[in-house]
Amino acid sequence: MMIFKGRAISKFSGEGEALVSKQPISFFGGVDRNGIIRERNHDLYGMDITGRILIFPRGKGSTVGSYIIYQLKKNGHAPAGIINIETEPIIATGCIIAEIPLIDRLEVNPLEKIRTGDYVLMDGKNGLVMVRRKIE
């Protein structure tokens, strides 16, 4: 198991299968109410984020994205956690109000060290990310 330390932003815990994107994500217009990525030409187009640990560089787009994250949680289609290289206020606010763990600034680049399908445990209180590599 690999363990990485980062900055704890939304101090909750979560776990699930990793879903990794090298592209920023906009929750307003980029993710539908069922947790499906709908942004055309996105590397995760058509993928379901529900219950996954969503790993991407940073958010983008409208401040409405914070409310979309909250609505996804209320609808049962939110990610189990989010890891960013550098989090911006839209993602941070959404995760805090929805009680979704959020960690950024890991001591390694999460896009290089964590792969889609790996099992990830997030300790948002202490900023710890534990990764169990997917057996191939």
Residues labelled as active-site residues? 62
- Do strands 7-10 and 102-104 pair parallel, antiparallel, or not at all (unpaired)? antiparallel
Amino acid, res. 129: V
